[in-house]
Chains A and B, each alone.
Chain A
Amino acid sequence: MQKTDSFYIVKLLLASAGAGLLAMIAMLLSWVITGNTPVDGSAAVSILTLVFIIGFAIGTFIVFMIVTDKVWNKNISKLEATFPERSFTATSTFNSKNVVFYIDVPGGKIAMITKYNPAALQMIDARAAQNIKVSDGKGSAIAGTTCVSFSFDIEGQKWKIPTLTAERPVSLKSEQVMTALAKADMQVERLVAAQKMAARSQ
Chain B
Amino acid sequence: MGKLFSEIKNFVGLIKNGEKNPPYCNVCHCKMELERREWLFLLPVWTDHTYTASATYYQNHLVPIQSLAEIPVGRRACRLVVYRCPNDQIRKVRVIDFLYSRGTEVLMLFDDYEYSAFREMLERL
> Which A residues have a C-beta under 8 Å from some C-beta of B?
173, 175, 178-179, 181-183, 185-186, 189
Q: Is the CB of B106 within 8 A of A179?
A: yes
User: Binary interface profile of B, 57-91, with partner A (CB < 8 Å = 1, else 0)?
Assistant: 00000000000000001100000000000000000
Given A185-B101, A186-B46, A186-B47, residue A178 in contact with residue B73 (CB < 8 A): no
CA A175 to CA B110, docked complex, whole Å: 15
Chain A contact residues: helix, strand, loop or mixed: helix
What residues of A have a CB within 8 angstroms of the CB of B46 in the complex?
186
In this assembly, does B38 line the interface, its C-beta being within 8 Å of a C-beta of chain A? no
Chain B contact residues: helix, strand, loop or mixed: strand
CA A189 to CA B101, docked complex, whole Å: 13
CA A186 to CA B45, docked complex, whole Å: 13
Q: Closest residue of chain A to B107, judged by CB?
A: A175
Q: Is the CB of A182 within 8 A of B107?
A: no
Of A173, A179, A185, A189, which one neighbours B48 at CB under 8 angstroms? A179
CA A122 to CA B53, docked complex, whole Å: 38
**Chain B residues with a Cβ closer than 8 Å to the other chain, count:** 13
Q: Is the CB of B102 within 8 A of A178?
A: yes
User: Binary interface profile of B, 22-58, with partner A (CB < 8 Å = 1, else 0)?
Assistant: 0000000000000000000000001110000000000
Which residue among B48, B74, B100, B107 has the maximum number of chain A CB atoms within 10 Å of its CB?
B74
Q: Closest residue of chain B to A187, judged by CB?
A: B74
Q: Which 5 A-B pairs have the closest CB atoms?
A: A186-B74, A182-B101, A178-B101, A178-B106, A182-B74
What residues of B have a CB within 8 angstroms of the CB of A186 in the complex?
46-47, 73-74
What residues of B have a CB within 8 angstroms of the CB of A189 in the complex?
73-74
**Complex interface residues of chain B between 83 and 120 (CB less than 8 A to chain A):** 99-102, 104, 106-108
Q: Is the CB of A185 within 8 A of B106?
A: no
What residues of A have a CB within 8 angstroms of the CB of B47 in the complex?
179, 182-183, 186
**Complex interface residues of chain B between 4 and 18 (CB less than 8 A to chain A):** none
Q: A179-B48, A179-B101 are in contact. List 20 more A-B contacts (CB 8 A).
A: A173-B104, A175-B106, A175-B107, A175-B108, A178-B101, A178-B102, A178-B104, A178-B106, A179-B47, A179-B106, A181-B101, A181-B102, A182-B47, A182-B101, A183-B47, A183-B48, A183-B74, A185-B102, A186-B46, A189-B74
